[in-house]
Amino acid sequence: MPARKKIIAANWKMNMTVADTETFLATFRRAVEGVSGVEIVIAPPFTSLPRLSELLGSSQQIRLGAQNFYHEKPGAFTGEVSALMLRELFVRYVIIGHSERRQIFGETDALINKKVLAACATELLPILCVGETLAEREAGKEKDVLRTQLEGALRSVPEEDVLDAVIAYEPVWAIGTGVNATPEQAQDAHAHVRLVLAELYTEAVAKKIRIQYGGSVKPENAASLMSQPDIDGALVGGASLEARSFAQIVRAALRP
Ligand code: PGA
């Protein structure tokens, strides 16, 4: 079976103006020149998507991602953006279920499931985030939490769609804190995610799905995290805002 291609995604969150985006891309492109064999995704704020889409053109090296969308068809949903609007800009991936959306904006597994289904129906590929809080880990419940989140988010999602999805394991206690999960902790969680996927689908399907780690990924820890057998890439917040540090993380994915 061919190895899973590593996928490194930048989640810029509510950072970067259009001008910042242009400066970033110019530096980043030079820094990853000639890099192949790893998929790179940039998920800027909505306001930067049109410009980034224009600048990337038909780039096969760097793909466009969105941080969110609303699952309904176009209509009276003030403040929201539809899947079709993203497709028009050649957005390929969409982050769904990020812990900030769950915690700050109250997104539930049921809503996340609707978004996953709507994304797949529009040919947007979900980057589905799951992860436990510190309290859940301290109570020894992290595996149950991951199972519940995966079962909820993937309800009725057919095999052919889940194969194109990416799962991001992001322990909430590691996001933006500077405290990353150790490679062993992350590997343990990733192996569990793959086990749950095998139960929900088949082992063959589970083996093909890419699982990224997210939470304080930096140039210094990226290679050791990604050397683990079930870690197929990284979803990067803070360290993706600086072109050179994001490029270093991309290059870390190339190491055996
Ligand atoms: P961080 O964020 O890299 O700043 O910890 C990761 C994320 O929230 O996706």
CATH number at residue 78: 3.20.20.70
Write out the catalytic residue numbers: 98, 170
Q: Is residue 37 part of a domain?
A: yes
Average pLDDT per run of 10 along the chain, which is 256 residues long? 88 98 98 96 98 94 97 97 97 98 98 98 97 96 98 98 98 93 97 98 98 97 97 98 98 88
Q: Which atom of ligand 1 is nearest to the CA of 175?
A: 5
User: By alpha-carbon position, which residue is closest to atom 3 of ligand 1?
Assistant: 237
Q: Is residue 102 part of a domain?
A: yes
When divided into structural domains, the chain yields a total of 1
d(CA 205, CA 31): 34
Q: Is residue 183 part of a domain?
A: yes
Q: Is residue 2 part of a domain?
A: no
Q: Is residue 60 part of a domain?
A: yes
Q: Is residue 103 part of a domain?
A: yes
What was the pLDDT predicted at 1? 53
What was the pLDDT predicted at 196? 98
* Domain interval for residue 131: 7-252
What was the pLDDT predicted at 74? 93
Q: Is 217 in the pocket of ligand 1 (CB under 6 A)?
A: yes
Q: Is 180 in the pocket of ligand 1 (CB under 6 A)?
A: no
Q: Is 176 in the pocket of ligand 1 (CB under 6 A)?
A: yes
Q: Is residue 1 part of a domain?
A: no
Q: Is residue 137 part of a domain?
A: yes
What was the pLDDT predicted at 38? 97
Ligand 1 mutation pick, 41, 68, 100, 235, max ligand atoms within 8 A of CB: 235
Q: Is 235 in the pocket of ligand 1 (CB under 6 A)?
A: yes
What was the pLDDT predicted at 2? 61
